[in-house]
C-alpha cells in the first residue's frame, strides 16, 4: 500500500510558494510582503503602496525635467531628442507589457499588497492549497508544505495526487474532487496509515470555491487539518463512556429511561434480567412503558407539563410487570427534566428491587405489602388536608386526574375537588371538612366527574388519627359510571315492561269491546241493504272500529303480545317491494337512497310487521326534514366480531343482518332520546301523531328477537340501527321449501267457488264477556251450528262432566277462575281428540309456552269479524 510522508519536519521554514517558483521568506524574516503566489491574478487584494509611489514620482520628475530641457533647444535641434525619448518610452512600455504578461514583472498592490492576509494564511495551523480549474497548484501555505514534505513549488502536489493509490482515502478524495468541479463545499475525514512503527493519523479535508463569480470562481481552496489528537480524545471519552455503560448495565440496581411518548429508550441488563427480557430485543425498540408498568403505576410516572426548566425527582413504590405477567415490587427514583416550554423530556429512573429484602426484614416486608395494596387497589385513594389539597395518592387516582383535570404535573399539591363537577363540589368539600373534625360515619357522596362526557363516582371521606394539617382526611373514590348506566338501562327496561303490561292489559279489555262492536255491525250490515238510510252510518261505525283495532295492534306490538306470522325473508326483496310506497310517503323534497348489501343472510320475521317498522321510521324521518333532505336505507351482514366490537348494551355477539335508516334531519335532543320508544310520547303537535310509531317499532323488533339502537346529533340527523338475527333453516324448512317449488295443481271448480261457511255440529263457546259471548253464539247459530255457552273454564268443565257432547270448543284465553291453558289441560284428560280454538287479544306465543307439550289447538286473534269466526270454525271442524 502506498504510504505518505506527512511529517511536520520538512518543507520551507517560512513562507509558501508562488507560480514563479520562488520561496518567500514570510514569517521567517524575508520580505515584509510575505511569500505566496504573485502571478498577476489578484488573489489577495490590497497591500503596501509606499515604495511604488516614490518610484512613480521620480520617473515623473525626470520626464518633466527632460521636457523642460528640450524647451530651451530650438525645434530643429530638439526634434531628434524628442523622437529618441518617445522611442525609449515606447520600448519601455512594450517591454513592461510583455514582462507583465509573462510574469517577469510583478506589481505592488497584487498578491503582496496586503501582508496581513498573507501572514494569516501562512501562519495557519491547517494546510491550505489553492488550485486552478486544471488542478494546478497556484498557492500553498507552509503547513501544507510540511504535510506533503515539499521543498519548492515543483514538489507541491494537489491533494488528489498526494493520496493516489490509497484505497482507504481515494474514495473520499473522489467525492471532494466532484464537489470542487460542481462548485460545492464538502468535508471528509480519512484515516491515513503512517510509516511502519508510527501510528495512523486522521486528516480532515475540506474543499470550497474561492469565489462565486469572475476569476475567483475558477480557483478552489483545499484545507487539510490533522485531527488525530481530537480523534484520540474522542476515543478516550468513548472508552470511558463504554466503561460507565458496562458498569451501569451490571449494577445491582435497575435503570430505564422513557421518552415523552412512553417508549422505553434505555434499560440496563440488570432490570432486563429482573423483567425476563432479552436485552437485544429491548434495544431494537418497540418496548413501551405500559409493557413493564401496570396502567395505574404508569399514571404515577407520566407527568403533565410543569414549570419551564424544572427538574423533578419522585420516589414511587409500585409493581413492575415481568414478561410472563408476574409482579415485581420495586421502589423507583423517577427523574424528569422539563424544557423551556414546560414539556417533559426523557426520564431517568433508578429501580430498586424490594422483593429481595422481604424475607430478611419483616418491617420492610410489611411496608412493601402495604404499598402494593395502596398502589394496586381498584379504588382511587388520596390523603388530603383540610382544604382538599392532595398529599399522597395511588395510581388509580393519578390516572383519574390525567383523564379529568390535566394540569401542571402530578396530583400532589392540587385539590381533589378538581375532578368533581362544580355543582357537586360543595357536597364533597363538606364531607372532607367533617372528616377533618374527626367525625365518623360520614355518608358517601355521589358526584358527577369533571370533563367532557357523563361520568360519575362515589366518594368516601374518613378521618386521619394523626394530628396536623398535612393529612386531615383520607378520600376513597370509586367510579360508578358503568353501574349507573346499567342501573339506568335496567330501570328503563323495567319501565318499558311495566308500560307494556299496562298497554297489553288495556288492549285485551279493549279488544273485547271492539269484538262486540264489530260483531254487532256485521249483524246490522246483514240486516240492512246498501240503499237503507242507516247503512252508511253502520259502515262508519265499522270503519272506526277497524281504526281502533289498528291502534290496539300497535299497543300490543309495543308490549310484544301481538300475533306474528313469521316467515323467512330476503330483506333486499322486502325493501325493494316497499320502495315505491316509501317514495310516496316521504314526498318529493326528500331523496330516498336504498343501498342493499351483498349476499344478505336470511332472517325470520313477519313481513307485514317489518314493513310497518320501515314505514314508521320513514314517516318520522320525513317529519324531521320539513325543508327536504335525504333518507338512506342500508342493509348488510354483521358478523360476530363486528357485533362484539360494537358492544351494544344488552345485545349478545352473534350473526345479524343490520338495517340502517338514516336521515339528515334536525336530530333528537339528548334529553329525550331515552324516551322515544315509550308509547304515547311524541314531540309533534297535537293531532299530528299518536306517539305509538317508535313504540311499535320497538315492540315488533323485540318480539322478532332483534335489537334496535339510535344515534342522533342535533342539526346533523338521526340513524336507527336494527339488528335481526340470522336465520339458519332447519331440515323441515328446507324440505318444505323444496316442496313449494313443485308445480301446483289447478284449482278445482269447487275451490274456485265462494267459500261456504255454513255447517253442523255442537260448539261449546267459553267467554267471560257476556255481551261478546252472546253475539258470537248468535253468529254461529245463524250458520247452522248448535252453541252451548259457558262464562269460564269451570263452567265449561261442568257442562262436559254433565254429559254434554261437543264437537268443538271456542274459548277465550284470559278468564277468571280458570284460564284457557288450564281448560285445555283438563279437556285433554277427558277427550284427547277434542278440537279447540283459542281466541285472544294477545299473541299466540304469549300463552303457548304455558300449554302442555304437543297440545294441539287453533288460534284466532281478537278483534275478529263474524266472517273470520265462522271461517275458523269451519276450517277447524273440517280438518
Residue 649, pLDDT above cutoff 80: no
Calpha distance 382→316 (Å, rounded)? 14
Structural domain contains residue 573: yes
Residue 583 shares a structural domain with residue 724: yes
State residue 293's pLDDT score: 81
- Alpha-carbon distances, residue 544 vs 179, 522, 523, 537, 877 (angstroms): 99, 14, 16, 11, 32
Sole residue written with cell 297489553: 504
Residue 687 shares a structural domain with residue 777: no
Comparing C-alpha atoms, which of 436, 433, 388 is closest to residue 412?
Answer: 388
Residue 379, pLDDT above cutoff 90: no
Structural domain contains residue 113: no
State residue 823's pLDDT score: 85
The helix/strand/coil state of 224 is strand
- Alpha-carbon distances, residue 609 vs 293, 332, 505, 735 (angstroms): 55, 65, 21, 26
Which of 102, 130, 163 finishes a domain? Answer: 102
Sole residue written with cell 317498522: 613
Side-chain half-sphere exposure of 535, counting CA atoms within 13 A: 9
Calpha distance 776→876 (Å, rounded)? 16
- Contact 603/571 with Cβ under 8 angstroms? yes
State residue 834's pLDDT score: 87
Q: Residues 484-504: pLDDT tens digits?
A: 877 777 776 676 666 666 666
Calpha distance 289→266 (Å, rounded)? 11
Domain of residue 851, CATH code: 3.40.50.2300
Max mean pLDDT range (255-264, 458-467, 496-505, 795-804): 795-804
Q: Residues 100-120: pLDDT tens digits?
A: 666 565 554 444 445 676 777
Residue 711 shares a structural domain with residue 820: no
State residue 739's pLDDT score: 55
State residue 658's pLDDT score: 94
State residue 743's pLDDT score: 47
Q: Which residue has the higher pLDDT, 596 or 414?
A: 596
Residue 859 shares a structural domain with residue 710: no
Residue 843, pLDDT above cutoff 70: no
Residue 795 shares a structural domain with residue 670: no
Calpha distance 320→291 (Å, rounded)? 9
Strands (E), 424-488: 445-448, 456-463, 473-479
- Alpha-carbon distances, residue 317 vs 111, 356, 368, 373, 393 (angstroms): 75, 15, 8, 11, 11
**Model confidence band, residue 27 (pLDDT cutoffs 50, 70, 90):** very low
Calpha distance 325→209 (Å, rounded)? 63
Structural domain contains residue 617: yes
Residue 679 shares a structural domain with residue 822: no
Side-chain half-sphere exposure of 422, counting CA atoms within 13 A: 1
- Contact 666/644 with Cβ under 8 angstroms? no
Residue-level length of the chain: 879
Residue 235, pLDDT above cutoff 90: no
- Alpha-carbon distances, residue 207 vs 220, 245, 400 (angstroms): 7, 38, 60
- Contact 157/254 with Cβ under 8 angstroms? no
Q: Which residue has the higher pLDDT, 449 or 301?
A: 449
What element of type H or E holds 92?
helix 75-102
Which pairs count as long-range contacts for 390-395, CB under 8 Å and 24+ apart, including other chains? Answer: 390/414, 390/415, 390/416, 391/470, 391/471, 392/471, 393/300, 394/296, 395/294, 395/295, 395/296, 395/297, 395/298, 395/299, 395/300, 395/318
State residue 468's pLDDT score: 57
Query: What percentage of the chain carries pLDDT values higher than 90?
Result: 8
- Contact 127/147 with Cβ under 8 angstroms? yes
- Contact 143/127 with Cβ under 8 angstroms? yes
Residue 724 shares a structural domain with residue 780: no
State residue 34's pLDDT score: 36
Residue 234, pLDDT above cutoff 70: yes
The helix/strand/coil state of 713 is strand
State residue 42's pLDDT score: 38
Residue 868 shares a structural domain with residue 777: yes
Max mean pLDDT range (252-256, 499-503, 636-640, 844-848): 636-640
Q: DSSP letter at 762?
A: E
Structural domain contains residue 460: no
Structural domain contains residue 777: yes
State residue 276's pLDDT score: 84
Average pLDDT over residues 363-369: 71
Calpha distance 783→526 (Å, rounded)? 13
Structural domain contains residue 520: no
Structural domain contains residue 847: yes
State residue 633's pLDDT score: 93
State residue 875's pLDDT score: 87
Q: Which residue has the higher pLDDT, 782 or 862?
A: 782
Paired residues of 456 in beta bridges: 448
- Alpha-carbon distances, residue 817 vs 399, 842, 870 (angstroms): 63, 19, 27
Residue 550, pLDDT above cutoff 90: no
Which of 690, 710, 730 finishes a domain? Answer: 730
Calpha distance 297→292 (Å, rounded)? 10
State residue 820's pLDDT score: 81
**Model confidence band, residue 631 (pLDDT cutoffs 50, 70, 90):** very high
Average pLDDT over residues 622-637: 91
Q: DSSP letter at 601?
A: P
State residue 773's pLDDT score: 84
Max mean pLDDT range (134-143, 254-263, 543-552): 134-143
Residue 721 shares a structural domain with residue 784: no
Q: Residue 631 sits in which domain range? A: 561-730
Domain of residue 626, CATH code: 3.30.565.10
Structural domain contains residue 480: no
Return the axis-axis angle of helices 75-102 and 50-72, rounded to nearest 10°. Answer: 160
pTM equals 0.41
Average pLDDT over residues 586-599: 89
Max mean pLDDT range (6-15, 69-78, 527-536): 527-536
The helix/strand/coil state of 765 is strand
Residue 769 shares a structural domain with residue 865: yes
Which of 102, 136, 160 finishes a domain? Answer: 102
Max mean pLDDT range (480-494, 589-603, 847-861): 589-603
What element of type H or E holds 314?
strand 311-321
According to DSSP H, which parts of 659-765 are helical?
Answer: 693-704, 731-740, 749-752
The helix/strand/coil state of 630 is strand
C-alpha cell at 637: 351482514
Mean pLDDT over the full length of the chain: 76
Q: Residues 696-732: pLDDT tens digits?
A: 788 888 878 899 999 998 888 999 999 999 988 776 6
Query: What percentage of the chain carries pLDDT values higher than 70?
Result: 73
Residue 469, pLDDT above cutoff 70: no
**Model confidence band, residue 771 (pLDDT cutoffs 50, 70, 90):** confident
Q: Which residue has the higher pLDDT, 364 or 537?
A: 537
Residue 304, pLDDT above cutoff 80: no
Q: Which residue has the higher pLDDT, 77 or 269?
A: 269
3-state helix, strand, coil in the chain (%, to 5): 45, 20, 35
Which strands form 344-353's sheet, in the order they lie side by side?
Answer: 264-267, 254-258, 344-353, 327-338, 311-321
Q: What is the number of domains present in the chain?
A: 3
Calpha distance 821→730 (Å, rounded)? 28
What element of type H or E holds 712?
strand 707-713
- Contact 688/527 with Cβ under 8 angstroms? no
Paired residues of 567 in beta bridges: 605
Range with lowest mean pLDDT among 9-13, 272-276, 762-766? 9-13
- Contact 511/552 with Cβ under 8 angstroms? yes
State residue 195's pLDDT score: 62
Sole residue written with cell 367533617: 434
Q: Residues 162-177: pLDDT tens digits?
A: 877 777 788 888 888 8
- Look at strands 786-790 and 445-448 and give their pairing: unpaired
Residue 630 shares a structural domain with residue 688: yes
Residue 621 shares a structural domain with residue 725: yes
Return the axis-axis angle of helices 866-878 and 481-527, rounded to nearest 10°. Answer: 90
- Look at strands 590-595 and 629-638 and give their pairing: parallel
According to DSSP H, which parts of 559-606 are helical?
Answer: 571-577, 579-586
Amino acid at each position: 500500500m502506498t504510504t505518505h510522508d506527512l511529517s511536520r519536519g520538512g518543507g520551507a521554514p517560512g513562507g509558501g510558494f508562488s507560480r514563479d517558483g520562488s520561496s518567500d521568506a514570510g514569517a521567517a524574516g524575508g520580505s515584509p510582503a510575505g511569500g505566496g503566489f504573485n502571478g498577476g491574478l489578484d488573489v489577495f487584494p490590497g497591500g503596501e503602496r509606499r515604495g511604488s509611489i516614490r518610484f512613480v514620482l521620480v520617473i515623473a520628475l525626470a520626464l518633466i525635467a527632460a521636457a523642460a530641457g528640450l524647451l530651451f533647444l530650438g525645434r530643429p535641434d530638439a526634434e531628434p531628442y524628442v523622437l529618441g525619448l518617445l522611442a525609449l518610452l515606447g520600448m519601455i512600455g512594450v517591454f513592461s507589457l510583455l514582462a507583465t504578461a509573462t510574469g517577469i514583472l510583478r506589481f505592488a498592490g497584487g498578491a503582496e499588497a496586503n501582508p496581513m492576509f498573507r501572514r494569516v494564511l501562512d501562519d495557519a495551523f491547517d494546510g491550505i492549497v489553492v488550485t486552478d480549474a486544471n488542478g494546478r497548484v497556484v498557492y500553498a501555505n507552509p503547513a501544507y508544505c510540511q504535510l506533503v514534505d515539499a521543498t519548492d513549488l515543483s514538489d507541491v502536489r494537489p491533494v488528489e495526487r498526494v493520496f493516489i493509490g490509497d484505497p482507504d482515502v481515494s474514495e473520499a478524495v473522489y467525492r471532494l474532487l466532484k464537489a470542487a468541479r460542481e462548485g460545492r463545499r464538502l468535508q471528509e475525514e480519512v484515516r491515513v496509515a503512517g510509516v511502519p512503527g508510527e501510528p495512523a493519523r486522521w486528516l480532515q479535508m475540506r474543499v470550497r470555491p474561492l469565489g462565486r463569480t469572475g476569476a475567483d470562481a475558477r480557483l478552489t481552496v483545499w484545507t487539510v487539518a490533522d485531527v488525530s489528537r481530537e480523534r484520540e480524545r474522542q476515543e478516550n471519552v468513548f472508552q470511558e463512556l463504554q466503561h460507565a455503560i458496562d458498569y451501569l448495565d451490571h449494577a445491582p440496581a435497575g435503570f430505564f429511561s422513557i421518552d415523552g411518548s412512553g417508549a422505553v429508550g434505555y434499560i440496563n441488563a440488570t432490570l432486563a434480567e429482573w423483567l425476563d427480557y432479552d436485552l437485544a430485543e429491548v434495544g431494537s425498540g418497540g418496548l413501551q412503558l405500559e409493557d413493564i408498568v401496570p396502567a395505574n403505576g404508569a399514571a404515577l410516572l407520566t407527568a403533565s407539563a410543569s414549570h419551564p426548566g424544572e427538574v423533578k425527582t419522585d420516589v414511587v413504590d409500585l409493581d413492575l410487570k415481568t414478561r410472563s405477567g408476574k409482579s415485581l415490587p420495586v421502589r423507583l427514583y423517577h427523574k424528569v427534566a422539563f424544557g423551556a416550554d414546560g414539556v417533559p423530556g426523557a426520564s431517568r429512573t433508578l429501580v430498586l428491587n424490594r422483593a429481595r429484602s422481604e424475607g430478611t426484614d419483616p418491617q420492610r416486608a410489611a411496608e412493601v405489602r402495604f404499598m402494593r395494596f395502596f398502589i394496586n387497589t381498584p379504588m382511587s385513594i388520596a390523603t388530603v388536608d383540610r382544604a382538599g389539597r392532595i398529599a399522597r395518592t395511588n395510581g388509580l387516582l393519578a390516572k383519574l386526574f390525567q383523564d379529568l383535570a390535566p394540569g401542571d404535573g402530578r396530583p400532589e399539591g392540587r385539590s381533589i375537588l378538581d375532578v368533581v363537577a362544580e355543582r357537586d363540589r360543595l357536597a364533597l368539600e363538606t364531607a372532607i371538612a367533617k372528616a377533618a373534625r374527626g367525625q365518623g360515619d360520614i355518608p358517601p357522596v355521589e358526584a358527577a366527574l369533571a370533563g367532557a362526557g357523563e361520568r360519575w363516582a362515589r366518594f368516601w371521606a374518613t378521618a386521619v388519627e394523626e394530628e396536623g394539617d398535612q393529612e386531615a382526611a383520607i378520600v376513597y373514590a370509586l367510579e360508578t359510571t358503568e353501574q349507573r348506566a346499567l342501573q339506568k338501562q335496567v330501570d328503563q327496561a323495567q319501565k318499558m315492561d311495566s308500560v307494556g303490561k299496562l298497554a297489553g292489559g288495556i288492549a285485551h279489555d279493549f279488544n273485547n269491546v271492539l269484538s262486540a262492536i264489530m260483531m254487532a255491525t256485521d249483524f246490522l250490515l246483514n240486516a240492512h241493504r246498501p240503499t237503507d238510510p242507516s247503512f252508511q252510518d253502520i259502515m262508519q261505525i265499522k270503519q272506526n272500529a277497524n281504526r281502533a283495532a289498528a291502534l290496539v295492534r300497535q299497543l300490543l306490538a309495543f308490549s310484544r303480545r301481538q300475533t306474528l306470522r313469521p316467515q323467512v325473508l330476503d330483506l333486499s326483496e322486502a325493501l325493494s317491494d316497499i320502495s315505491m310506497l316509501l317514495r310516496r310517503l316521504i314526498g318529493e323534497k326528500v331523496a330516498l337512497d336504498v343501498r342493499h348489501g351483498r349476499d344478505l343472510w336470511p332472517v325470520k320475521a313477519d313481513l307485514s310487521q317489518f314493513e310497518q317498522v320501515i314505514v314508521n321510521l320513514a314517516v318520522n324521518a320525513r317529519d324531521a326534514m320539513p325543508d327536504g333532505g335525504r333518507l338512506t336505507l342500508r342493509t348488510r351482514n354483521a358478523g360476530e366480531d363486528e357485533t362484539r366490537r360494537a358492544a351494544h348494551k344488552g345485545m349478545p355477539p352473534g350473526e345479524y343482518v343490520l338495517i340502517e335508516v338514516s336521515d339528515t334531519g334536525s336530530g333528537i335532543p339528548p334529553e329525550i332520546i331515552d324516551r322515544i320508544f315509550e308509547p304515547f310520547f311524541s314531540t309533534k303537535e297535537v293531532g299530528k301523531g299518536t306517539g305509538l310509531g317508535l313504540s311499535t317499532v320497538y315492540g315488533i323488533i323485540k318480539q322478532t328477537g332483534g335489537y334496535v339502537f339510535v344515534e342522533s346529533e342535533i342539526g346533523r340527523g338521526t340513524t336507527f340501527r336494527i339488528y335481526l338475527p340470522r336465520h339458519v333453516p332447519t331440515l323441515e324448512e328446507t324440505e318444505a321449501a323444496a316442496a313449494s317449488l313443485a308445480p301446483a295443481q289447478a284449482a278445482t271448480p269447487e275451490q274456485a267457488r265462494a267459500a261456504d261457511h255454513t255447517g253442523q255440529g255442537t260448539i261449546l263457546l267459553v267467554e267471560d264477556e257476556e255481551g261478546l259471548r252472546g253475539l258470537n253464539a248468535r253468529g254461529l247459530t245463524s250458520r247452522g251450528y248448535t252453541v252451548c255457552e259457558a262464562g269460564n273454564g269451570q263452567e265449561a268443565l261442568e257442562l262436559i262432566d254433565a254429559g254434554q257432547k261437543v264437537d268443538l270448543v271456542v274459548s277465550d284465553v284470559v278468564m277468571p277462575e280458570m284460564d284457557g291453558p288450564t281448560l285445555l289441560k283438563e279437556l285433554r284428560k277427558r277427550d284427547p281428540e277434542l278440537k279447540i280454538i283459542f281466541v285472544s287479544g294477545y299473541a299466540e306465543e304469549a300463552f303457548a309456552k304455558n300449554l302442555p307439550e304437543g297440545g294441539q289447538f287453533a288460534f284466532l286473534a281478537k278483534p275478529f269479524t263474524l266472517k273470520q269466526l265462522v271461517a275458523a270454525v269451519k276450517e277447524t271442524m273440517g280438518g
